[in-house]
Amino acid sequence: MSKPAMAQAPSARPPLDPSSIAQAVEVLLGRPATPAEITALAGHRSLATLRLAVMRGAAFRGALPRDAAPRPGAPFALPVALLRPPEDPALPWRFAEPDLRDPVCQLATAGQMESPDYLRWCGVLRDPPGWHVAQWTRIWLLAAIEKAGLYKPGLRALGLDLAEGHLACVLASQGQQVVVTPRAGQTLEALLQPDLIAADAFDARVIPFSPLTHPGFDLVWSQGSVERCGSRAAALELIRASLDWLRPGGVALHVVRLDLSSDEAAPEGESLVALRRQDLLALTTRLIAEGHEVWPLNLHPGTHPLDEEVDPPLAGPTHLKAEVEGHVLGSFGLVLRRAGSPDREAGLP
C-alpha cells in the first residue's frame, strides 16, 4: 500500500542510499539486511515510510516475541456487537465516516487527517500535518470547541492533567482565561508554546488551578487524564464530575482510549484504563436522564487503508489503532453539554 500523499516527503528529496536502508533494517529486525531486502526497499525517500514498510512485513512480525506479535489474518474490522445501535432511543447515535466539519463523539481516523479542516487547524497550531494521534486529539478538540460556539474571546476554560500546552495556548491567544492542572512532574511554564502565544500574554491568561478556583467554566477538557485514572470506575467518575465545573450550558470534552475488539474485557490498570462501548452507553444514558446533552456517538472505524492497520505494542508510528494486552484500542472524543440546572458544589477528583 502506498503512503498517502500528505505523509510523503517532497518529490525533490532523493531516495535513501543503500547504507541508510541497511542500517534501518538492522535496527528494526535485529540482524543485517539481506541484499534482496535492500533492493526491495530502494526508492523510499524517508525513514518514516521505510519503517512502515518494514514493520508491515512478515520478517518484522517474526522478529517480535510471540506474545507481542500482531494478530495474523484479515485487516482490522469493528466487531458486529459494537455496531449495534443503543437500546435507549434517547441516546443519539450515528454510524458514518467521521469528519471534522461536523464533529461528534468519534474515533480518530486517517480520513480526517486528509481533510481541508484538518489542514486548517494544523495551520492554527503551526504544526505540519502528520499521521499522529496526538495531533488528531488537539485538532478534534479545537473542531468540537468551534462547533460548540466556544472558540471566541472572553470565556473561561479548564484543562485537566495537561502534559502539553498547545490547546491552552491557542485558547489563551483567542482571549480566553485558561486555568490548568499540569500533569505530575510538569510545570506551568513548560506548557508555553511560544509559536502560539507570547510569553507575557501566556502569563496573563494561563493560570494554575488553586483551592480558590471557582466553577462556572464555559469549557472543561482532558486529553489523556481519563486513561490514567487507575480504574474504569474512577475514569467514568472523572468524566461525570467534570460537568460540576461547568456553568449551565458549558461543554466538557474528553479524549479517551476505547476498546475496539471487545465489549467485555478491556485493559484496566494504573498505567492504562480503556473504556468499553457498554461504559459509554451506561454513562451517557445516565447523563441524558439527568438532563445533560450528549453529542451523537459514532463508532465508525474509518475506511482509509491506514484505518485497517493495528500497530503492534510500542512499535507503531501512527497509533490510530494500537494493540495493548491483546486488545485493539482507539482514541475516542466524547462531548457533553451541561444541563441548565443550578451549580452544585464542585471539587476536582
Those residues with Cβ within 8 angstroms of residue 144's Cβ, 6 or more apart along the chain or in another chain = 103, 251, 253, 295, 333, 335
CB 323 within 8 Å of CB 71: yes
CATH number at residue 243: 3.40.50.150
Mean pLDDT, the chain, as a whole number?
Answer: 86
- Do 197 and 121 fall into the same domain? yes
Instruction: Mean pLDDT check: name the lowest of 33-37, 41-45, 136-140, 324-328.
Output: 41-45
- Asked whether residue 155 falls in the same domain as residue 34, the answer is no
Once rounded to an integer, what is the mean pLDDT over residues 251-259? 97
| Residue 203 Cα distances to 163, 169, 193, 199, 309, angstroms | 18, 10, 12, 6, 42
pLDDT digits (tens, 9 = 90+) for 157-168: 999 999 999 999
Lowest mean pLDDT among 232-246, 289-303, 328-342: 328-342
What is residue 344's predicted lDDT score, i.e. its pLDDT? Answer: 43
159 and 307 together in one domain: yes
Q: What is the pLDDT of residue 75?
A: 76
Q: Is the pLDDT reported for residue 173 higher than 50?
A: yes
The reply to whether 189 and 306 lie within a common domain is: yes
In this prediction, residue 44 has a pLDDT band, given cuts at 50, 70 and 90, of confident
Residue 70 lies in a domain: no
Question: Is residue 153, in this structure, part of any structural domain at all?
Answer: yes
State the average pLDDT over residues 304-322.
Answer: 77
Report pLDDT for 65: 44
Q: Please compute the mean of the pLDDT values over residues 175-184 and round it to a whole number.
A: 95
Tell me whether residue 254 is in a domain: yes
All three cell numbers of 108: 480518530
Give the separation between CA 300 and CA 108, rounded to whole angstroms: 10
What is the reported pLDDT for 31? 85
Tell me the C-alpha distance between 299 and 324, whole Å. 19
pLDDT-derived band at 317 (thresholds 50, 70, 90) equals low
Whether 106 and 252 share a structural domain: yes
Same domain, 217 and 316: yes
Q: Summarize pLDDT for 57-94 with one digit per residue, the tens.
A: 667 655 544 333 444 445 788 888 888 899 889 999 99
Residue 326 Ramachandran class (φ > 0 left, ψ -120 to 50 alpha, else beta): left
Average pLDDT over residues 258-279: 93
d(CA 275, CA 232): 7
Q: Both 49 and 133 in a single domain?
A: no
For residue 240, name the pLDDT band (cuts at 50, 70, 90).
very high
pLDDT at 36: 83
Residue 95 · residue 83 · CB < 8 Å: yes
329 confidence band (pLDDT: 50, 70, 90): very high
Nearest alpha carbon to residue 337 among 288, 283, 299, 297: 288
Q: Is the pLDDT of residue 135 over 90?
A: yes
Within-domain flag for 75: no
Do 231 and 176 lie in one domain? The reply is yes
pLDDT at 66: 37
Specify the pLDDT at position 91. Answer: 94
- How many residues comprise the chain? 349
The pLDDT of residue 343 is above 80: no
Q: Which amino acid is at 169?
A: C
Q: Is residue 269 part of a domain?
A: yes
Domain that holds residue 53: 5-63
Closest CA to 239 of 257, 218, 260, 225: 225
Q: How far apart are CA 196 and CA 169, in angstroms?
A: 6
- On whether residue 112 sits in a domain, the answer given is yes
* Count of domains observed in the chain: 2
Query: pTM of whole model > 0.75?
Result: yes
For residue 105, pLDDT over 70 is answered with: yes
Block residue for cell numbers 495493548: 324
Residues 116 and 29 in one domain: no
Contacts of 310 (CB under 8 A, 6+ apart): 70, 71, 76, 316, 321, 322, 323, 328
121 and 58 in a common domain: no
Of 63, 91, 111, the one marking the end of a domain is 63
Question: Looking at residue 314, what DSSP letter applies?
Answer: T
Indicate whether 277 and 158 sit together in one domain: yes
**Are 111 and 256 members of one domain?**
yes
Residue 33 in this model has a pLDDT that exceeds 60: yes
Q: Is 178 helix (H, G, I), strand (E, B) or coil?
A: strand
Instruction: Answer yes or no: are the C-beta atoms of 220 and 160 closer than 8 Å.
Output: yes
**122-127 own/partner pairs: CB under 8 Å, 24+ apart:** 124/170, 125/166, 125/170, 125/196, 126/195, 126/196, 127/166
The answer to whether residue 190 is domain-embedded is yes
Q: Which of 17, 32, 63 is the last residue of a domain?
A: 63
Instruction: Judge whether 137 lies within some domain.
Output: yes
Would you say residue 222 has pLDDT above 80? yes
Question: 297-298 and 156-162 as β-strands: parallel, antiparallel, unpaired?
Answer: unpaired
335 band by pLDDT with thresholds 50, 70 and 90: very high
pLDDT above 60 (res 348): no
Q: Tell which of 35, 63, 91 closes a domain.
A: 63
pLDDT of residue 190: 95
